[in-house]
Chain A
Amino acid sequence: MTEAVFYIFAAVAVLGAAMCVLQRSAVSSLVWLLTTMFALAAIFVLLQAELLGVLQVLVYVGAILVLFLFVVMLLNVDALRQYSRGAVSTAAAVAIGGLLLVELFAIWRYTPARLAAELAQSPQMASDLALAFPAASTNAEAIATRGIVGAVAAPMFQTYLVPFEITSILLLVALVGAVVLAKKRL
C-alpha cells in the first residue's frame, strides 16, 4: 500500500521536474516546481521524516518559492524567445544528464541487504559509521522516545550545536547581503 502511494507521488515529482525544465514560461516552470515540492513533501512523510515534510512545505514552498514568485512578478520576466542556450548546450545537457543518471544509479548498491551484509563482514565499518554519524539511533526509536520534533531537536542542540549557530549567522549574512545588493541607493 505504502509503496503504491510512494510510486504515485514519485511519478508526480518526476513529471513536475520534467515540465519545470521544459516549460517556456518562467511562471509555468515555477508552478510545476511547486507541484514537485509538494510531492516530495509527501514522500518525506512516507519515509518517516514527518517534521521535514512539514518544513519542506513551510520553508521551501512557503518561503523560497514565494520569493521566486515575487521576483518573477516584480521583474516581469516571462518567456524568452529562445529558451535553450543553443545546440551545444542542449547536447551537453542530454549527455551529461544521461551520464549522471547512470552514475547515480551506483548509489543503488546501498540497499539495506547489501549494507547489512557489509556491516556484518567488517566491524571496522560499523565503528566508522558510528563515528561519522554520532546521532545514529534509528528513526523509529528516536520518534518513539521523544516525539517527532524531539527526535531531531536533541542531536541538533547537542551534537550539532556549532553548525546550527553558524547557520544562523549565515542567514543573517544572507539577509544583509540581499538587502545591500538589491537596494537602489545605499
Chain B
Amino acid sequence: MAPDLLGPALALSAVLFSIGAAGVLLRRSAIVLFMCIEIMLNAVNLAFIALALLHGVAGHIMVFFVMTVAAAEAAVGLAIILVVFRHKQSVDLQHVNLLRG
C-alpha cells in the first residue's frame, strides 16, 4: 500500500522544493530566507523517506543526518544574522553588500 504513495510523495517533494527555491530568490528578509531554506530541506527529507520505501532504512538514516545538519546550520546561521543585525540594525539583504568587488 505504502509504495503506491511513492509517486505522489515525490511529486509533493518536488513542489515543496520549488516553492522553497522561489522563496529563497524572492524574499528580502534574511530570516524568512532561512525559513525558505528549511522548506527546501524538508522537501528533500520527504524525498528520502519516500525512496526508503524501496531501498530500505538507509533513507531514514539519511534523513536523520540531514536534520542534524539542518539544526547546526540554523544555529550558526541565526547567530550570523544576529551579528549582522547588530551592525546594520536591519536584516534587509539589500543592505548587506560588503562583499562588493
A contacts B directly in the complex (CB < 8 Å)? Answer: yes
Contact present for A93 and B31 (CB under 8 Å): no
Q: In the docked arrangement, what's the CA distance between A85 and B25, Å?
A: 8
**Within B14-61, which residues are at the interface with A (CB < 8 Å)?**
14-29, 31-32, 34-36, 38-39, 42, 45-47, 49-58, 60-61
* B25 / chain A contacts, CB cutoff of 8 Å: 85, 89, 92-93, 96-97
Contact present for B28 and A17 (CB under 8 Å): no
How many residue pairs at the A-B interface have CB separations less than 8 Å? 258
Residue of B nearest to A184 (CB): B86
Interface of B is mostly: helix
Q: In the docked arrangement, what's the CA distance between A77 and B34, Å?
A: 14
Q: In the docked arrangement, what's the CA distance between A127 and B50, Å?
A: 21
> Considering only CB atoms and an 8 Å cut-off, how many residues of chain A contact the other chain?
88
Interface of A is mostly: helix
* B69 / chain A contacts, CB cutoff of 8 Å: 167, 170
Q: How far is the CB of A186 from chain B (nearest CB, A)?
A: 12
Contact present for B26 and A90 (CB under 8 Å): yes
* A26 / chain B contacts, CB cutoff of 8 Å: 29, 31-32
Q: Within the complex, which residue of A43, A52, A163 is in contact with B63, where a contact is CB–CB below 8 Å?
A: A52
* A163 / chain B contacts, CB cutoff of 8 Å: 65
Contact present for B29 and A49 (CB under 8 Å): no
Q: In the docked arrangement, what's the CA distance between A100 and B25, Å?
A: 13
- Mask: chain A, 103-147; 1 = CB below 8 Å from B; 0 = not: 011011011100100000000000001000111111100100000
Ordered nearest first, which 7 A-B pairs have the shortest CB separation? A97-B22, A174-B72, A104-B14, A21-B23, A136-B56, A93-B25, A181-B79
Q: Knowing that A139-B53, A152-B60 are A-B contacts, what are 15 other residue pairs whose CB atoms are under 8 Å apart, sorted by A's residue number?
A: A3-B4, A14-B19, A17-B20, A17-B39, A33-B38, A48-B2, A55-B67, A68-B34, A80-B28, A80-B29, A90-B26, A142-B57, A156-B64, A171-B72, A181-B83
Can you report 25 A-B residue pairs in the complex whose CB atoms are below 8 A from each other? Answer: A10-B12, A18-B19, A26-B32, A30-B35, A33-B39, A48-B53, A49-B52, A52-B49, A55-B67, A67-B75, A80-B29, A80-B90, A80-B92, A83-B27, A83-B29, A83-B32, A84-B27, A89-B26, A93-B23, A96-B25, A107-B47, A136-B57, A152-B57, A177-B79, A181-B76
**Residues on B facing A (Cβ under 8 Å):** 1-29, 31-32, 34-36, 38-39, 42, 45-47, 49-58, 60-61, 63-65, 67-76, 78-83, 85, 90-94
